[in-house]
Amino acid sequence: MKRRVGTGAAPGKVILFGEHAVVYGRPAIAAALGTGLGATVEADATGPVLRIPAWGRGGQQVRLESAGGSFESISRAFAVALTQVGLISAEARQVAVTVDGGIPPGVGLGSSAAFSVAVLRALFDYAGHPASPQTVLAAAMEMERVFHGTPSGLDHTIVTHGGCARFQRGQAPTFESTFESLPVGRPLTLVVSWSPRELTTRGVVARLRERRERYPLPFERLFDAIGEVTREGQVALSNGDLEQLGLLFDHNHGLLSALGVSTLANEQLVSLSRRGGAYGAKLTGAGGGGAVLALMPEERCSSLVSTFEREGFKAFATTIEATP
């Protein structure tokens, strides 16, 4: 008898413009990466079991009833995924899920969204329930709430649909978010580097919300400025204007620093990127440590990656392709 198996995959992502301001109704632009996570589901009488070799947990069988510590949120999100797919009974949950791939966790590259979407796609495949992108998107949102509390919706939207897109979160009274695929005028060569996070995404977002409540006017002005940079970035992206995109990366990073979400490590990565010949550089994602994005001339990428590695950081080069 053929062994029952389900598979699913999802890319990582980078935010090119607009992080944090997107939570407060301004637009953001994000792009899917060429690397991501894959998930495989098989029947297992001892399940539900979750294994994540990609994150150094391949030898640890994580069970819903016993997971704790740093794995607690992953376990809770896994439980949400099983429920969203309709695997409710103890018998239906006798599964083992293995997740592997090239996205490091917790640095701002959409690891939780890629985990959510890849696992959901694999579970739907295993259960024999074809799932539309809208179904996957709604279920992934429930998982993202476990990880981040009040997610903007951007990460799992771009991870589900792929490509490069403009996202704007819905506001009262309809709260209907918009997602618009964007043209990319020429390939973008990027070097992604990262440092350990000092705060989780949930922690960074909560601290920023507290500061905004205390000083609403200056923070709203910063969000407005980020929104304007994002709109200008959309034009430069369509035109393939790398120098303008780099300048706008730098502007966006300065505004994120003013919001208080950058760290000394983020600033060091940005500085190394600029000294290494970047058109521009900025943190990507929530900040509080984590990833920095450098827009590079292609011939300078390998040198910059080597520089980061000599300084004790991890980095890789990737490309966002131009649209046909």
User: How far is the C-alpha of 227 from the C-alpha of 223, rounded, in Å?
Assistant: 6
Band of residue 1 on the pLDDT scale cut at 50, 70, 90: very low
Query: Mind listing the pLDDT tens digit for each residue in 251-263?
Result: 999 999 999 999 9
Whether 79 and 121 share a structural domain: yes
Whether 205 and 256 share a structural domain: yes
What integer pLDDT is reported at residue 68 of this predicted model? 52
* Residue where a domain stops, chosen among 152, 181, 210: 181
Chain centre distance of CA 215:
28
**18 Cβ partners below 8 Å, 6+ apart?**
26, 27, 28, 29, 226, 227, 229, 230, 252
What integer pLDDT is reported at residue 284 of this predicted model? 96
Whether 133 and 213 share a structural domain: no
User: How far is the C-alpha of 227 from the C-alpha of 31, rounded, in Å?
Assistant: 17
Whether 100 and 244 share a structural domain: no
Q: Say which amino acid occupies 193.
A: S
Which residue among the candidates 44, 100, 155, 241 is catalytic per the annotation?
Answer: 155
Whether 46 and 176 share a structural domain: yes
Angle among Cα 301, 290, 20 to the nearest 5 degrees reads: 110
What integer pLDDT is reported at residue 63 of this predicted model? 62
Tell whether the model's pLDDT for residue 308 goes beyond 60: yes
Query: Mind listing the pLDDT tens digit for each residue in 150-207?
Result: 777 788 889 999 999 999 987 766 677 888 999 999 999 999 999 998 888 888 989 9
Query: Mind listing the pLDDT tens digit for each residue in 203-245?
Result: 898 999 999 999 999 999 999 999 999 999 999 999 999 999 9
Angle among Cα 33, 203, 255 to the nearest 5 degrees reads: 65
* Residue where a domain stops, chosen among 133, 159, 181: 181
Q: Say which amino acid occupies 110.
A: G
Q: List % helix, strand, coil for the chain (3-state, nearest 5).
A: 45, 25, 30
Out of 135-144, 146-155, 264-273, least confident range: 146-155
Q: Which of 304, 302, 284 is nearest to 293 (CA)?
A: 284
Whether 207 and 176 share a structural domain: no
What is the average pLDDT across 100-111? 89
What integer pLDDT is reported at residue 246 of this predicted model? 98
User: How far is the C-alpha of 67 from the C-alpha of 119, rounded, in Å?
Assistant: 18
User: How far is the C-alpha of 54 from the C-alpha of 60, rounded, in Å?
Assistant: 12
- H-type alpha helices, the chain: 72-85, 111-127, 133-148, 154-161, 201-214, 216-239, 242-259, 264-275, 301-310
**Are 293 and 285 a contacting pair, CB within 8 Å?**
no
CATH code at 277?
A: 3.30.70.890
Whether 173 and 274 share a structural domain: no
Whether 79 and 205 share a structural domain: no
Q: How many domains does the chain have?
A: 2
Whether 66 and 132 share a structural domain: yes
Active site residue 155: yes
Whether 169 and 224 share a structural domain: no
Structure tokens belonging to residue 111: 């690891």
SS3 of residue 228 by DSSP: helix
- Give 72's Cβ-side CA count (13 Å radius): 3
| Sole residue written with tokens 């796609």 | 121
User: Residue 220, class by beta-carbon neighbours within 10 Å (0-12 exposed, 13-18 middle, 19+ buried)?
Assistant: middle
Whether 160 and 229 share a structural domain: no
Angle among Cα 165, 170, 173 to the nearest 5 degrees reads: 160
User: How far is the C-alpha of 41 from the C-alpha of 156, rounded, in Å?
Assistant: 21
| Sole residue written with tokens 């996205």 | 103
**Are 111 and 104 a contacting pair, CB within 8 Å?**
yes
What integer pLDDT is reported at residue 172 of this predicted model? 66
Query: Mind listing the pLDDT tens digit for each residue in 44-100?
Result: 888 888 888 877 655 455 665 555 555 788 888 999 999 999 988 888 889 999 999
Band of residue 30 on the pLDDT scale cut at 50, 70, 90: very high
User: How far is the C-alpha of 14 from the C-alpha of 102, rounded, in Å?
Assistant: 14
Out of 62-66, 127-131, 240-244, 312-316, least confident range: 62-66
CATH code at 143?
A: 3.30.230.10
Q: What is the mean pLDDT of the chain?
A: 90
214: domain range? 188-320
Tell whether the model's pLDDT for residue 286 goes beyond 80: yes
